[in-house]
Structure 1
Amino acid sequence: MKEIQMSNPSSNLMDHINAEQLLAQTREGLRKLWLCGLGAYSLATRSSMQTFETLVREGQAMRPKARQQIEETSAELKSSATATIERGENLVRERFLRPLDFVILATRHDIEQLSLRVIQLSAEVHKLASGKIKSLEKPAAKAEAGTIASSA
């Protein structure tokens, strides 16, 4: 024969209470874990905002110093570049232009100036030539008139 075991009603009740307590404790633990995560997120957000604002203040405080450093570095670079350019110009003058001084090359402007001067001088020569011709014609005409008068 089979023996039917009867469960103890108080034991079932205890198991049921323990299971509900365990479930309640688990729910409470999960709720606290959820709140812990939310708290960490809130703290990180607040901390990052404070860090951001601190960095902005530091940047504003550093701005004049950075601008001064940029201006100083820029002035140094300009000075260095100017000196390098001057050395290059001097080198070109010494190596290329000075030897050409002996060759005397005329520029387009020089040629234009000389052409204008030639035109001016040609005009003066024509004036002088036409004045001499007239002055030569006058004595010749007087001489002819004198010879014609003396022969008559």
Structure 2
Amino acid sequence: MSDESDKKPENDPQLAAKIKDSARQIWLAGLGAYTKAEEDTGRFFDRLVQEGEQLESKTRGVVEKQIKSVEDRVEGVRERATGTWDRLENMFDERVSGALKRLGIHRREDIESLERRIEALEAELCRLKERADDEEE
């Protein structure tokens, strides 16, 4: 039984030392890679900024032209849509007004006009009544 347990990999001191040494090398490689990446990050970032600035200056004119073109198209569509909505709104108003008239319901403007006429007639009646009272005395 002891021969079998000596042959197991977890009992082999050389294998354990090799695994420990490999783990240390992996750890050190990771630290080295981290340090290298940290050093290169600043230079890499600066290079990316420079390339971005160059690309921006090259594309700025093209993008501005495209934006202007899109804005012009949007304005044209907006004007057409507004005109269409105005026509639809007018048609709707006319049809609703016609339906209300057929039902005997008057528009607000008609009612307000009648109210002004009634107020004028009431004022005239008050004046006539005051004149009649003055004549009786």
TM-score of the superposed pair, with normalisation by structure 2: 0.49
Structure with more contact order per residue of length (Cα contacts < 8 Å, sep ≥ 6): 2
The structure that has the greater radius of gyration is 1
TM-score of the pair, normalised by structure 1: 0.45
